[in-house]
Structure 1
Amino acid sequence: MKIAVVAMGKIGLPLAVQFADADPAHEVVGVDVDAATVEAINAGREPFSGEAHLADKLAALVPAGRLRATTDYADAIPGADAVVVVVPLFVDEATGAPDFGWMDAATASLAPHLTPGTLVSYETTLPVGTTRERWKPMIEELSGLRESAEGGFHLVFSPERVLTGRVFADLRRYPKLVGGLSEAGTARAVAFYESVLTFDEREDLPRPNGVWDLGSAEAAEMAKLAETTYRDVNIGLANQFARFADTVGIDVHKVIEACNSQPYSHIHQPGIAVGGHCIPVYPRLYLSTDADATVVRTAREANAAMPEYAVARAEALLGSLEGLRVVVLGASYRGKVKETAFSGIFATVEALRARGAHVLVHDPMYSATELAAFGWEPYAWAAGEPGDPVDVAIVQADHPEYAQLAASDLPGLRVLLDGRRVTDATRFTGVPRLTIGGGEQPAS
């Protein structure tokens, strides 16, 4: 097959590599608007770090002629048996409304070059109804082809269900969901994904994986939104429990561990923020088509308020943060990932500055220059090398480096607020250490 993958980002590139790796006879072409990304791929180099096995696979597949990249849709799309679209969908932070700008542009660029009979699969998470109501008419108008008609094209939605850093493992482990606009299109998609994905048949998996036909594009769209929104709602509940626990001096983590010892309880962990491309975003996509989802809206609001709560918790112990030096540890939205999408760093810094604090930011994955580009004052610290004096430290991301942090690394420290519960309490003897839901200091 000739397979085109549109957008060579942290999901699209590993997908393209997976498809090329599945069969030596496949011709896989990645499309991206960024020339530097295309150049790196064609040189057999990974354009970003942190994805397990990606570098080795690129180094083998590209020289063998099984994978290449281009910025030209007219090169990649014609003659393709399948076109897989993984272009980012953005959300307006103020309104929560989806911004289809990049996806519209990509769809408008690929549609005129479609060959009759091509399967088009969107993997980007979408509001329910988008595949049928937005992409189908757009592609039909620009391609001159009819969806599901003789000599036309087939259109399906098949959501990506992987985490960056472990994409290849997740592709093996989780069922691939498919929802089409026609039986013929769905059958084509099922056959395609069965041919390019290798599934894990271990007996310890809860259910057989493979390709699952959900019956419609809308059902597949909702499945992706529901599984991620569930996580946001669950974390919102955990955060509510944590805030109450702090008022009465209870360690909510022990409570959650006890609850989850019973098989019908699956409470997640509380924390300073919910960040990333998925968990804080997809509930908003769901709300864009279900305005009556009050549980979803309330949970999203509760989680968005956690950075402010964390800062207020530290402030309550000191009385005021005015003029104090406060270092925020971790700019990334989660540990070991160099990415700030919807990270709690932004709201945390804003809450501190609003209180008159002198804010510094540290992250082991970012250089001082990179941190400064965000408008933050970098804080220099490395294991075994104490940093400059600070009054307060707030752990925002659970980078493993912070598990080794000690009070001696932060001279003058008066309060540690560990928003991820990653630090070792024994390393902070004599310094108040607060956590989210630890109950160490009842709120006043």
Structure 2
Amino acid sequence: MRIAVVALGKIGLPLAVQFASSGHEVVGVDVNQATVDKINTGQEPFPGEAELQERLSELIPEGRLRATTDYSEAIPHADAIVIVAPVFVDEQTSEPDFTYMDSATKSLAEHLTAGTLVVYETTLPVGTTRNRYKPMIEEISGLTEGVDFHLAYSPERVLTGRVFADLQKYPKLIGALSAEGTRRVRNFYEAVLQFDERPDLSRANGVWDLGTTEASEMAKLAETTYRDVNIGLANQFGLFASANGIDVHKVIEACNSQPYSHIHRPGIAVGGHCIPVYPRLYLSTDPEAEIVRTARDLNASMPERMVARAEALLGSLEGLRAVVLGAAYRGGVKETAFSGVFPIMDALRARGATVRVHDPLYSDDELRGLGLEPYDMGDPVDLVVLHTDHAEYREISPADLPGVKLCVDGRAATDPARWVGTPRIVVGAAE
């Protein structure tokens, strides 16, 4: 097949590489010229994705994959187009921001030719494929869905850093607008993906048809929103446990020892492209989902709550030297999308503290580029807030942070034996 992939980010580029590795001709489209240039010289444009550089080094010289900024070069006469342009949530209104996806859709529609399968993989609110993008493509292209082209939705279900492994591990969910569209999208993914044996599943691992685009859209939102609600529940338990002299981590370990309990871990922040965002996309079409809203609001409040606890213990944070350990939203991943480091800094600064940030994955210049003032381990500090559970922080002690008066461990990652004699607050641990 000839396949076009629109938007070569941390999901789109590995998908393009996967399709090319499966023996197909792939052209990727991206608006960033620097990204396109790097790909065409066989260089990964972002670090940390397992196998990506190795595969690019093989595919680019062989001509099986190339990148362009020109839709007219990639879209016409493609057998399939996969779109992975981002959809954001407006920080003020919590409404979906379709700016980039609308632009990508309009650009591909201008060059769409008959006979093409078009698949959206970006997480979308329920009904978006049918009600927003079907009429948009038809109006601009002059083609009719179900006759001249076929439209489907198939959510990406992978984590950055392990995309290729996840593509094999998890069933590929699909939903189309017609029977022929279903046949086409099933055949497409069966031709570009390979699946692991999964005896734990109720049916064979592979392409799973959910019947409609709406069901497929909801499946992605549901599985991610579940995680946010579960974390919200864990945080609620953790807040109660801390106030009542209980170690919630022991409670959760005990609960999860039987197969019907799957309580997640409490923490100071929920970050990343997915968990803080997709519940808002779900709420945009189901405003009555109070349990979803409550969990999202509670999780968003955790940075402020933990800093407030520090202030209560120290009396005041005015003029104190505070350090946040970890800029990345999760341990071992060099990514700051919706990272808790930003609301933690805001809460500290609002109370008069000066704030610096340490992260072993980022250089000082990279931290400054994110608007963060870097901290050098060993410099004097009054308050430390552990935000990211990097492996490097598990062995940290007051000796590494001269003068520290309090540690707020937002991930239960520090070793209590190393902090004897220095006050330490842990999310979900007894005060």
Q: TM-score with structure 1 length normalisation?
A: 0.96
Residue 373 of structure 1 aligns with an amino acid whose one-letter code is G
Task: State whether residues 269 and 339 of structure 2, in contact with CA within 8 Å, keep that contact through their aligned partners in structure 1.
Answer: yes
Which of 30, 40, 44 does residue 42 from structure 1 map onto?
Answer: 40
**Equivalent residue for 1:69, pick from 35, 54, 67:** 67
Output aligned runs, 1:4-15, within 5 Å: 4-15=4-15
Aligned partners of 2:286 and 2:22: how far apart in 1?
Answer: 39
Distance 2:259 2:16 in 1: 38
Alignment of 1:88-107 (within 5 A): 88-107=86-105
The aligned counterpart of 1:395 is: 386
Q: Residue 287 and residue 187 in structure 1: after superposition, are their counterparts in 2 closer, same or farther (change >3 A)? A: same
The aligned counterpart of 1:21 is: 21
Using the alignment, how far apart are the partners of 2:43 and 2:175 within structure 1? 34
SS at match of 2:152: strand
Deviation at 1:202, TM superposition (A): 4.5
How far has the Cα of 1:170 moved from its partner? 0.4
Q: Structure 1 residues 206 and 45, CA, compared in 2 at 3 Å: closer, same or farther?
A: farther
* 2:198 and 2:205 in contact (8 A); partners too: no
Q: 1-side partners of 2:220 and 2:282: how far apart?
A: 10
- In the alignment, the residues of structure 2 paired with residue 417 and residue 208 of structure 1 have an alpha-carbon distance, to the nearest angstrom, of 46
Residue in 2 aligned with 1:261? 257
**C-alpha distance 207-432 of structure 1, shift in aligned 2 (>3 A):** farther
Hey, what's the Cα distance between the residues in 1 that align with 2:399 and 2:118? 57
Alpha-carbon distance in 1 for matches of 2:203, 2:331: 30
1:77-107 deviations in Å (ceiling 9; x for gaps): 1110000000010111121100000001001
List gaps (5 residues or longer) in structure 2.
none
Aligned counterpart for 1:272 among listed residues 262, 268, 275: 268
Tell me the alpha carbon deviations over residues 107-153 of structure 1, each in whole angstroms, 9 at most, x when there is no partner. 1111121121100000000000000011100100111100001xx00
Alignment-derived partner of residue 384 in structure 1: none
2:171 pairs with 1:175: yes
* 2:220 is the alignment partner of 1:224: yes
Per the alignment, in what secondary structure is the counterpart of residue 266 of structure 1? coil
Q: Aligned pair 1:316/2:312, yes or no?
A: yes
In structure 1, what residue type is equivalent to 2:2? K
AA in 1 matched with 2:103: A
> Are residues 1:424 and 2:420 paired?
no
TM-score of the superposed pair, with normalisation by structure 2:
0.98
Query: In structure 2, do the counterparts of structure 1 residues 354 and 103 end up closer, same or farther at CA, with 3 Å as the change threshold?
Result: same
Q: Matches of 1:186 and 1:205 in 2, distance apart?
A: 22
Superposed, which structure 2 residues align to 1:203-214 within 5 Å? 203=199, 207-214=203-210
Alignment pair present for 1:413 and 2:404: yes
Q: Which amino acid aligns with 1:193?
A: Y
Tell me the CA shift for residue 208 of structure 1.
2.5
* Rounded Cα–Cα distance in structure 2 between residues aligned with 1:406 and 1:198: 46
Secondary structure of the residue aligned to 2:43 is coil
Alignment partners' CA distance in 2, 1:344 and 1:53:
29
- CA positional deviation for 1:205: 5.4
What are the equivalent positions in structure 2 for 1:96-245 lying under 5 Å apart?
A: 96-149=94-147, 152-203=148-199, 207-245=203-241
Cα deviation digits, residues 246-298 of structure 1 (max 9, x gap): 10110000000111111111110000000110001000000000110000000
Compute the RMSD of aligned alpha carbons. Answer: 1.0
Figure out how many residues of one structure are paired with residues of the other and give that number: 431
Q: Where in structure 1 are there 5+ consecutive unaligned residues? A: 382-386
C-alpha separation between the residues in 2 aligned to 1:204 and 1:221?
24
Residue aligning to 2:395: 404
Counterpart-to-counterpart distance in 2, 1:370 and 1:59:
27
* Offset of residue 215 of structure 1: 0.4
Q: Which amino acid aligns with 1:405?
A: I
How far residue 174 of structure 1 moved from its aligned partner, in angstroms, is: 0.3
Query: Take 2:212 and 2:174, find their aligned partners in 1: how far apart are those partners?
Result: 8
Q: Matches of 1:193 and 1:83 in 2, distance apart?
A: 12
1:433 to 421, 424, 427: 424
Q: Deviations over 1:146-166 (max 9, x none)?
A: 0001xx000000000000000
How many angstroms apart in 2 are the aligned matches of 1:203 and 1:289? Answer: 35
- Aligned AA (1:226): A
AA matched with 2:313: L
Q: Which amino acid aligns with 1:438?
A: A
Conserved in 1, the CA contact under 8 Å of 2:248 and 2:428?
yes
Q: Which amino acid is the alignment partner of residue 3 of structure 1?
A: I
Shift of 1:424: 1.6
* Cα distance in 1 between the residues matched to 2:307 and 2:205: 43
Residue among 302, 307, 311 paired with 2:303: 307
Determine helix, strand or coil for the equivalent of 1:62. helix
- CA distance in 1: counterparts of 2:110 and 2:380, whole angstroms: 60
Whole-angstrom distance in 2 between the partners of 1:34 and 1:207: 41
| SS of corresponding position for 1:388 | coil
